[in-house]
Amino acid sequence: MITVEVALDARSYPIHIGAGLLGHAPLLVPALSEPRVAVVTDTNVAPLYLERVAGALRKAGIAVTEIVIPAGESSKDWPTLNRVIECLLASGCDRATTIVALGGGVVGDLAGFAAATYQRGVPLVQMPTTLLAQVDSAVGGKTAINHPLGKNMIGAFYQPRLVVTDTAALDTLPDRELRAGLAEVIKHGLLGDAAFLAWLEENIDKLKGREPLALAHAIRRCCEMKAAIVREDERESGIRAHLNLGHTFGHAIETGLGYGNWLHGEAVAAGMVMAAELSHRLGHLAARDVDRVRALLGRAGLPVVGPALGPGAYLELMRRDKKAVAGDIRFVLLKHLGEAFVGAAADEAVRGALNACTRDL
């Protein structure tokens, strides 16, 4: 087991990374305020891992409430959140009950937001089971649900007390979900670690093939990078915004197509190509580096062109993005591969990048 610390003074917490951790109840006990938890999971993960987690906790003398939501991005909404809250209330869960988020990014975001708001905040443990959640969404305290007009528009910063990352859970992850997670892995190399990016170019086939040592290294490096960024800028007033590389375009794709038609990682992959192309058109990134971004994402089996929603629709959706300021779109751009910055761009340049990176699919 490897442990990465997210250092936030009194709210610091460990990320435990290793194979077979889901059934290891002693890891969770130090994070509990009382011997009671509510495990929130979904219909995909429950048949695979719910009994392993809940059974181990019960054997350790911990009372467990099980809450299973429908799988998929469409569950990140008010009705599903309300259903979780109703289950917590019906089960008599109090403000010392720990919510355990067992699943991918949807479960982590939704259960995290429930923890942030139920009785003004209850303890939270993240147990991510997808690559995307293990390297990104389970770490750093972002929680949210979607609104029909925009992705992750309703949420809170709310740090967990613990993250337990079982790399063996990736054995049951569908290939498409694994590829979607690789988008977030590649993002970390593009925005802040050129050496890691080079390692990814050498090892992307091992990652696609689920080679355990390669996956463990990638997960650890991404968690180290994100932990360092969150330590410096917990609430995204500065450098943490770099983690949104590809997301402004990607969220527009998800909202424009309807949540769930493209996986989050797929939309972010196409969005990173758009961001790289825009960076080149603004005079920052060399054309050969745009090709390098496109090639690596393509080798990972991810989309490198976006849907032709039309530049006008993209711009309208991006102006609604929560990162926009006074209607001005803020893009995460690349000076070089491994160095990101936040900047603005004229609509003409954005339209050019979108025309170069979209087509009817």
With CA atoms as reference, report the closest residue to 165 among 134, 132, 140, 211. Answer: 134
Spot the catalytic one: 151, 240, 281, 294: 240
Q: Based on C-alpha coordinates, what's the Rg of the chain?
A: 20
Dihedral, CA of residue 178, residue 183, residue 185 and residue 189, to nearest 10: 160
Spot the catalytic one: 36, 76, 142, 242: 142
Spot the catalytic one: 226, 242, 280, 294: 226
- Tokens (6 digits) for 120: 């003004």
Is 264 designated active site?
Answer: yes
Is 292 designated active site?
Answer: no
Check: CB of residue 30 under 8 Å from CB of residue 43: no
Is 146 designated active site?
Answer: no
Is 244 designated active site?
Answer: yes
At residue 312's C-alpha, the angle toward residues 311 and 313, to 5°, is 90
Q: Which residues contact 10 (CB under 8 A, 6 or more apart)?
A: none
Is 251 designated active site?
Answer: yes
* Whole-angstrom distance, CA of residue 72 vs CA of residue 260: 7
- Tokens (6 digits) for 93: 């869960």
Spot the catalytic one: 221, 244, 254, 294: 244
Check: CB of residue 100 under 8 Å from CB of residue 40: yes
Spot the catalytic one: 36, 187, 188, 264: 264
* DSSP-based three-state secondary structure for 38: strand
Check: CB of residue 91 under 8 Å from CB of residue 65: yes
Spot the catalytic one: 247, 280, 281, 294: 247
Spot the catalytic one: 44, 146, 220, 236: 236
Spot the catalytic one: 16, 151, 187, 251: 251
Which amino acid, 194? A
The residues annotated as belonging to the active site are 120, 142, 184, 226, 236, 240, 244, 247, 251, 264
